[in-house]
Structure 1
């Protein structure tokens, strides 16, 4: 199914479509460089109206029995499933995600996340607890501002929306202005699922306008933000004025630590696939491959061979594994990092900053692998957000752990070993929110979030629901 070519989309406030009063923002297909839609550039007044609608709807929604709130979220999951093909095509059109990845990951993940939240309610995550002479109850925190990114747009919306709704919160959503069209489809799913008027509101626009109003608004009780670390710092600063709760899922520079006893070919293949998923635009991607120095050259050769199979191409083709980056700006950022790697002495094993052969349109970047990367290099420390993998050698297991922990981030990572107990021992030493052993599968019921400047708070399953609750102790 081809993605619909839309001419515009609107805000969604208090159950109504609101055409915006300000300028409009163009949405560009990153593979064709063509404008496929426009959205309103939301104003401070429109953001305020959405907050007021959410505040007005909060008492009734909070008083709705939790079982009924969970039923609504279950219907949202069903609605996403019914429109899965349309959502996948829309994400491919606005993000450049290969259609196969969009169909197998970008849409199924949020369905599973919403279903997991419903399961958490059934398992009693919101049940009262007796602690001594105190009855401990969980209550909704209130009005939530959900500010979401462009790279996994539906997943990150649902990761906030589903737990907030079952907890009894109302929501104002600001999706990324870079990839907002999927959110328009979602509002139709919400309406069909029976979400009452004002419980979920959507305001399009930019961070400096709409995002800042939401983060600082006195009637917003919590901000749940996913995006860059720089923007997360700004959200935290604005929210501090009203001491509202802030949950942040920010950048990453994750390491895959391959131990000396590992199947190197398998480990490297997994690393390249993880690093290049979603065109390299994933905050949890393993962008640093750590290998024993005695096997460094072999690892670099294996990585380059694997990377060359990721041939950039049309993201609507089921055969494509690597599409374009989301924008011209993002492409230039990635190319600047590649140039920095070369200038600082890393060895370019494949790829590079040159244009992709045969692709005159689209924001494409060659799949790139660097060998001989040192920890003091820019490409070993800064989040690149493109198909760029750095291979770093280490001498001892202790040094591998030290290198893995040597960035400001701590979102994800992996350990690969023939001995699972050995891998687990290393995983326990990594200062990061998630660690996969030997390429284990992603789990949407497990807590997702980071250490240090990768953020705070957790999403998914019961852990995500708890983020949107206040605890009250009633002594009797």
Structure 2
């Protein structure tokens, strides 16, 4: 067969392998299938290309522009999955495994595209947190802003997810406005290369937004500075080696690590074989042992179960594993394929042997492995291995050694405190799951174990039909963990985006902060528009444009009519003596919702126009009660504008209501949809 010559993509050019070329083998047959090498690459040129081409192009785009770019990219890849599936069989995985990798990666890009549009402004600067009032009269304020780093993100990815591993880092990086240099693990890099070729051929990303290294990183890390980020997924040993690079330490290069992890799953003390939670526990463990042949950083390595249930779990899980068909991932009936390489097989068997020195192997005969298919004798196949640790308190290897394959250990616990102690012996994990129907158990587990885990996954009969699974990191939530797991974070929605941005405290006047952030800040100067703002289109409206209404007197008749009409006859509105006895009111007062209605009546322009709908109201607060005879007026100011479709956008208005003494009585944010053109 013709060997694949895996090419790097550097400074806009595809570069063939050269120099010390590494050979790559099929995980299924053991035959040589590809070559990769990066000796010809000029890493300084790649960095310069990213910073001079990719970075400026991305930063010219708003968050919403970049989110639309990600959606287009995800759509493009989603329509071209089949060739990636076909190529991925050489990694040893089944079609179900490929869908975890390829569909999961594309789905992550879709999620970030959506979050960018929904949770980030249509602007170049991201406000982080609330405005801080730093002066008595509000003329000097502070706001934390996040801006894109002016460097490059170096993504060093693991072998087990050649597509998802790349895309789950790439999506938040590009959304932040930072270009990336991707370095996949060589053993499965042919799948990553095929995906990157699709990305480049699409023409969706600007030049310099993505580059690819097929082989070693050479002196790449020696050339980075504090504007750059290294995001790593892999073993703790490799992470420690990379992090110790003198240049990374000297220049304060951000280093995000997602490392190996001895994840645990706990069977709650309330669970017995007769409950649905028991079957759920066995199902979750079986899936985590066999999906991707156990080559998942989130896979379950330690099962912590009540002493009374240890044998029941061993029996139930062994029966399930006995039905697990291993072999050619393209063959009908195969449920588990091979490990990613012969080197990986060797490592898994060595680590399993270490675990076997203090635990008993209760399932997994490697000598009589029956494979489904032909010509597999040189493949990287292993049988799932289930161990039983009889004394987890004295054991050390099982809590410190990860066999990165279909290997897991059962151990018993006496009580919840003991279970928590065993969970935490992993030294810091990406995820732990607890299968229980008891909320008290869940709370105690959270209080005792959360500090040692990046994610806690609880499941039971109520959530099992819709839950995503112990081993499924979701782009909405943090993926990472303390201690052994690396101490870093990936994903986590917008949190993942800000890893590639600089958070800066910006201080100044309301006018200046309004100009910087593109969002009206209370206290900034008003702008008078040429006409009522409700008659102006989305594009015509300007940030800070304001209407100041006339006043309206609130009468006792208004209050009583509103009370009887709505049924809200709360005593503060209807009983003078009771209202006076309340420390918050001087006597009978107007309903808050009556004031909102009056506010709308004061600023609304009733004729048909660009304003299409009122879609929400945020952050409503009442500062001072309004009594019969008081007057109220409103200021309505354009706070923020966000494009939503090709026909209309969302306008957020800052609404202030004052009384006759210019005291603020109410404040809120009004959301409307406004057309781009007059209808």
TM-score category, normalised to shorter length: over 0.9
Match for 1:223 among 230, 240, 245? Answer: 230
Give, in angstroms, the shift of residue 424 of structure 1. 4.3
Match for 2:209 among 180, 187, 199? Answer: 199
Task: Give the secondary structure class of the aligned counterpart of 1:343.
Answer: coil
The equivalent of 1:322 in structure 2 is 336
1:180 & 1:79 partners in 2: Cα distance? Answer: 21
The equivalent of 1:144 in structure 2 is 153
Give, in angstroms, the shift of residue 234 of structure 1. 1.4
1:360 & 1:354 partners in 2: Cα distance? Answer: 13
Deviations 1:150-172 (A, max 9, x none): 10121111111111111010111
How do 1:91-106 residues align onto structure 2 when only pairs under 5 Å count? 91-93=88-90, 95-103=91-99, 105-106=100-101
Query: Aligned in 2, Cα 1:5/1:157: closer, same or farther, shift over 3 Å?
Result: farther
How do 1:120-199 residues align onto structure 2 when only pairs under 5 Å count? 120-125=115-120, 127-128=126-127, 130-132=131-133, 133-141=141-149, 142-191=151-200, 192-199=202-209
Task: Give the secondary structure class of the aligned counterpart of 1:274.
Answer: helix
Task: Give the secondary structure class of the aligned counterpart of 1:435.
Answer: strand
1:386 & 1:288 partners in 2: Cα distance? Answer: 13
The equivalent of 1:427 in structure 2 is 446
The equivalent of 1:337 in structure 2 is 351
The equivalent of 1:400 in structure 2 is 419
2:304 & 2:296 partners in 1: Cα distance? Answer: 19
Task: Give the secondary structure class of the aligned counterpart of 1:256.
Answer: strand
The equivalent of 2:370 in structure 1 is 357
Unpaired runs of at least 5, structure 2:
134-140, 272-276, 509-679
1:256 & 1:201 partners in 2: Cα distance? Answer: 39
1:20 & 1:360 partners in 2: Cα distance? Answer: 30
Task: Give the secondary structure class of the aligned counterpart of 2:163.
Answer: helix
Question: Contact 1:149 / 1:226 at 8 angstroms: preserved in 2?
Answer: yes
Deviations 1:206-249 (A, max 9, x none): 3xxx1x62333235611011111111111211121221111111
Question: Contact 2:9 / 2:211 at 8 angstroms: preserved in 1?
Answer: yes
Deviations 1:106-127 (A, max 9, x none): 1111112111111221133463
The equivalent of 2:21 in structure 1 is 24
The equivalent of 1:237 in structure 2 is 244
Query: Aligned in 2, Cα 1:136/1:380: closer, same or farther, shift over 3 Å?
Result: closer
Match for 2:110 among 108, 112, 115? Answer: 115
Task: Give the secondary structure class of the aligned counterpart of 2:256.
Answer: strand
The equivalent of 1:472 in structure 2 is 504
The answer to which of 190-199 and 362-371 deviates more is: 190-199
Greater strand share, structure number: 2
1:378 & 1:90 partners in 2: Cα distance? Answer: 37
1:388 counterpart = 2:420: no
Query: Aligned in 2, Cα 1:253/1:5: closer, same or farther, shift over 3 Å?
Result: farther
Give, in angstroms, the shift of residue 5 of structure 1. 7.1
Give the TM-score taking structure 1 as reference length: 0.92
The equivalent of 2:71 in structure 1 is 74
Query: Aligned in 2, Cα 1:154/1:424: closer, same or farther, shift over 3 Å?
Result: farther
Query: Aligned in 2, Cα 1:275/1:5: closer, same or farther, shift over 3 Å?
Result: farther
Task: Give the secondary structure class of the aligned counterpart of 2:355.
Answer: helix
Task: Give the secondary structure class of the aligned counterpart of 1:305.
Answer: helix
Give, in angstroms, the shift of residue 420 of structure 1. 4.2
Give, in angstroms, the shift of residue 435 of structure 1. 1.6
1:63 & 1:221 partners in 2: Cα distance? Answer: 19
Give, in angstroms, the shift of residue 131 of structure 1. 3.2
Query: Aligned in 2, Cα 1:425/1:108: closer, same or farther, shift over 3 Å?
Result: farther
Deviations 1:265-311 (A, max 9, x none): 33122212123221011111111111111111111111211222222
Greater helix share, structure number: 1
Match for 1:83 among 80, 83, 91? Answer: 80
Question: What is the aligned length?
Answer: 465
Match for 2:45 among 44, 49, 53? Answer: 49
Larger Rg: 2
1:309 & 1:214 partners in 2: Cα distance? Answer: 47
Give, in angstroms, the shift of residue 45 of structure 1. 4.5
The answer to which of 391-400 and 457-466 deviates more is: 457-466
Give the TM-score taking structure 2 as reference length: 0.65
The equivalent of 1:11 in structure 2 is 8
Give, in angstroms, the shift of residue 90 of structure 1. 1.9
Give, in angstroms, the shift of residue 8 of structure 1. 1.3
Task: Give the secondary structure class of the aligned counterpart of 1:107.
Answer: helix
The equivalent of 2:590 in structure 1 is none
Deviations 1:92-116 (A, max 9, x none): 21x211122213x111111121111
1:462 counterpart = 2:481: no
Task: Give the secondary structure class of the aligned counterpart of 1:339.
Answer: helix
Question: Contact 1:100 / 1:318 at 8 angstroms: preserved in 2?
Answer: no
The answer to which of 44-53 and 6-15 deviates more is: 44-53
1:213 counterpart = 2:219: yes
2:507 & 2:399 partners in 1: Cα distance? Answer: 53
The answer to which of 143-152 and 378-387 deviates more is: 378-387
The answer to which of 421-430 and 25-34 deviates more is: 421-430
The equivalent of 2:480 in structure 1 is 449
1:289 & 1:138 partners in 2: Cα distance? Answer: 42
Task: Give the secondary structure class of the aligned counterpart of 1:225.
Answer: strand
2:428 & 2:87 partners in 1: Cα distance? Answer: 31
2:219 & 2:345 partners in 1: Cα distance? Answer: 29
